[in-house]
Amino acid sequence: MTDFFRTGLLALALAASAALGAEPAALLAFDSPEGLGRLARAGAKADFPALANQFEPQSNIAFCGPTSAAIVLNALYAQRGNAPRDRSRLRPDDQKHLPEGLDLSLPRYTQESVIERGPKSRAQVLGEPLTINGKVIHDGGFQLRQLAATLRANGAATRVVVADATVTDAQIRADLIGNLELPGDYVIVNYRRDAVGQPGGAHISPLGAYDRESDSVLLMDVNPTNAGWVWMPVDTLIRGMRTFDTVENRGYLLVSAP
């Protein structure tokens, strides 16, 4: 996911659009009347309440992966009270006027803490070169399998689905809908924005619901500064996932407790 360090996103979007053929189907803003109506009528929205309750935006452009991971991990585990405490956002002076022994931190996963247990260092997530298949490259952000390994290192179970020629559109659609119909497991998708009609490059976010009437999923975008939550046609999302990222195609993760 090195794209976010590159300039010329508009040129990339135009080139990708021409290469991929027809324009993707239009996206619908979640906060529109029809967007809210889709959520109301959606039959597969078991994941939405927990994800919405734990939602937070990414703190920088490289952290869409760790932010998605933190949201899902908190949806799985935060209510248990045994999540790790991340004190990295506290300054040394923050506690000097508080009673002795009072801990300001909360037991919850953060964008910073999930990285600490994963295979990539914070510096590598932010672009420090690393070696992949014998080649030194800049691999900022997270590839699909790297994010899966990070989730597992933080106590979750994952199933990695790479959207390549071995998996059909029908299988992908069934996976997404089946997951969104049941509580306690979650979907994180890895796709290219410029392949789905949005400006930008590689991105990661969780899904919250599926509306059968429009055949669209609610993409809970972790970068609402640039793009709010949208209903995205499933065919459009699949198009965005069937794009190449460093060593293989993008795809999605099915995440649950072990």
Domains annotated for the chain, with CATH where assigned, are 2-256 (3.90.70.30)
Residue owning tokens 């899966």 = 148
Question: Residue 10 has what pLDDT?
Answer: 35
Question: Residue 137 has what pLDDT?
Answer: 85
Question: Residue 4 has what pLDDT?
Answer: 43
Residues in a beta bridge with 28: 231
Question: Residue 22 has what pLDDT?
Answer: 62
Sheet containing strand 185-192, strands side by side: 28-29, 230-233, 216-219, 202-211, 185-192, 251-256, 157-162
Question: Residue 183 has what pLDDT?
Answer: 95
Q: Mean pLDDT per 10-residue run, the chain (258 residues)?
A: 42 38 81 98 98 97 98 92 81 80 85 94 92 85 97 98 98 98 98 96 98 98 95 98 96 97
Burial class (CB in 10 A: 0-12, 13-18, 19+), 31: exposed
Assess contact for 147 and 111: CB atoms under 8 A: no
Question: Residue 1 has what pLDDT?
Answer: 55
Question: Residue 102 has what pLDDT?
Answer: 81
- As given in the structure block, the two tokens for residue 191 are 């796709």
| Distance in angstroms (rounded) separating the CA atoms of residues 1 and 104 | 34
**Measured between alpha carbons, how far apart are the two ends of the chain, in Å?**
28
